[in-house]
């Protein structure tokens, strides 16, 4: 009986030892699988993070809105020749006399200056529901798919931000800068051009060309922001409510157009003093413009001279007086 009792105890111990070994082996296998799952989860997380960073990087070069308008979920789905027709407003902006300015700077200073300027202007475009199609050196081409009013508000705020930027430049002993903005609304084709190994998104339309021409017209007229008649018609309700202040600048011939086009200035982005000066003489100014268009130069000159204020110079009046004097 004594031997049987010890034999039974030994058997129980052996069974317990065997079960313990199996449990340890099973636990080790579970831990191994859990480690593998953790590694997989970590690898998946890293892959997702890499993909997210890659998408963010692509968005810096190709606007998400561009891909969205082509009805694609990601840039990997975009193919050469994809296109869509849309009604949009195009905004063109350009720094005045940039070539002269850049000649006085080193290449590094040029890049620092352009990036400093664009870092202030680009967010304003996004804040007003626009997206940047491309940078052309110091120039910016932006698209506003929702409303022409978005583009005009962006232009006004860009001009206001320029005043802040120039104050900072003056404090750092840099010359202040100026810029012109042209805005036009119409139908355009948005799509991809190039070839299989190199393509890019672009916009093809006379709308783009006219917006660029309007920006160029700011140099000739002395105005800061010029909109087309089409854009003016679209924002007319806001003009009536005095959200925007507009004045007629006359007509001009542009390349690609048989008829002269009407130019309109948005001057809400001017300094408070200049804005008040323009509002004060708006009726007389537009009367002088009509006389100028009718080639009644002397009568136009008389009005321009009467409303000219040396202490608050209106560049447009100055431009017209010079043109009349040269005739």
35 lies in some domain: no
Q: CA dist 265 to 72, 275, 318, Å?
A: 38, 12, 15
Tens digits of residue pLDDT in 54-104: 566 656 666 777 777 777 777 767 777 777 888 999 999 999 888 888 888
62 lies in some domain: no
105 lies in some domain: yes
- Do 299 and 291 meet the contact criterion of CB atoms below 8 Å apart? yes
- Do 196 and 79 meet the contact criterion of CB atoms below 8 Å apart? no
Q: Mapping DSSP to helix (H, G, I), strand (E, B) and coil, where does residue 223 land?
A: coil
Same domain, 115 and 255: yes
83 token code pair = 């296109």
Same domain, 121 and 242: yes
136 lies in some domain: yes
- Do 120 and 229 meet the contact criterion of CB atoms below 8 Å apart? no
- If one counts the domains in the chain, the total is 3
What is the CATH number for 121?
3.30.70.1230
Same domain, 227 and 143: yes
Q: CA dist 127 to 48, 120, 223, 289, Å?
A: 28, 12, 24, 35
Residue 23: predicted pLDDT? 64
Helices 315-326 + 297-307 axis angle, to 10:
150
38 lies in some domain: no
Same domain, 205 and 319: no
Same domain, 304 and 166: no
305 lies in some domain: yes
Burial (CB < 10 A; 0-12, 13-18, 19+), residue 167, is exposed
Same domain, 105 and 173: yes
Q: Which domain holds residue 300?
A: 271-327
200 token code pair = 């890019």
- Do 138 and 98 meet the contact criterion of CB atoms below 8 Å apart? yes
61 lies in some domain: no
Task: List phi, psi (to 5°) of 88.
Answer: -145, 165
Mean of the per-residue pLDDT values of the chain: 86
Confidence of residue 204 (pLDDT cuts 50, 70, 90): confident
Give yes or no for residue 8 having a pLDDT over 60: no
Q: For residue 14, give every residue at least 6 positions away whose Cβ sits within 8 Å of its Cβ, in sequence order, or none.
A: none
Same domain, 215 and 311: no
Rounded CA separation 19/23 (Å): 6
Same domain, 246 and 184: yes
Higher pLDDT pick, 33 / 169: 169
pTM (2 decimals)? 0.81
Same domain, 10 and 81: no
Same domain, 282 and 242: no
Element (H, E) at 313: none
Same domain, 132 and 177: yes
60 lies in some domain: no
Tens digits of residue pLDDT in 16-53: 667 666 766 676 676 666 666 666 667 777 776 766 66
Higher pLDDT pick, 128 / 13: 128
**Sign of the dihedral defined by the CA atoms of residues 19, 23, 29, 32, in that order:** negative
Element (H, E) at 84: strand 83-95
Q: Is 194 left (phi over 0), alpha (psi -120 to 50) or beta?
A: left
Rounded CA separation 291/185 (Å): 28
Higher pLDDT pick, 57 / 133: 133
Task: List phi, psi (to 5°) of 296.
Answer: -95, 70
Rounded CA separation 265/289 (Å): 13
């Amino acid at each position: 009986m004594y031997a049987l009792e010890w034999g039974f105890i030994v058997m129980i111990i052996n069974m317990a030892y065997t079960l313990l070994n199996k449990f340890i082996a099973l636990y080790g296998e579970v831990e191994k699988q859990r480690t593998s799952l953790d590694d997989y989860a970590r690898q998946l997380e890293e892959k997702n993070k890499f993909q997210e960073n890659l998408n963010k990087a692509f968005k810096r070069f190709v606007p998400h809105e561009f891909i969205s308008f082509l009805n694609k979920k990601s840039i990997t789905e975009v193919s050469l020749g994809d296109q869509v027709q849309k009604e949009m407003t195009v905004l063109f902006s350009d720094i005045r006399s940039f070539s002269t300015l850049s000649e006085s700077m080193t290449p590094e200073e040029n890049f620092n200056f352009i990036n400093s300027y664009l870092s202030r202007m680009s967010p304003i475009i996004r804040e007003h529901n626009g997206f940047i199609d491309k940078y052309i050196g110091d120039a910016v081409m932006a698209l506003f798919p929702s409303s022409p009013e978005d583009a005009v508000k962006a232009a006004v705020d860009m001009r206001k931000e320029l005043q802040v930027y120039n104050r900072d430049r003056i404090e750092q002993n840099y010359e202040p800068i100026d810029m012109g903005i042209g805005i036009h609304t119409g139908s355009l084709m948005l799509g991809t051009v190039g070839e299989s190994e190199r393509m890019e998104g672009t916009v093809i339309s006379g709308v783009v060309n006219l917006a660029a021409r309007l920006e160029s017209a700011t140099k000739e007229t002395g105005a800061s922001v010029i909109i087309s008649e089409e854009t003016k018609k679209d924002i007319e309700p806001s003009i009536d409510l005095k959200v925007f202040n507009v004045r007629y600048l006359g007509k001009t011939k542009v390349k690609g157009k048989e008829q002269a086009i009407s130019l309109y200035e948005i001057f809400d982005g001017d300094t408070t003093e200049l804005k008040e000066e323009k509002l004060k003489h708006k009726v007389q100014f537009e009367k002088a413009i009509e006389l100028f268009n009718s080639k009644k130069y002397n009568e136009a000159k008389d009005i321009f001279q009467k409303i000219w204020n040396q202490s608050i110079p209106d560049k447009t009046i100055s431009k017209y007086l010079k043109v009349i004097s040269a005739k």
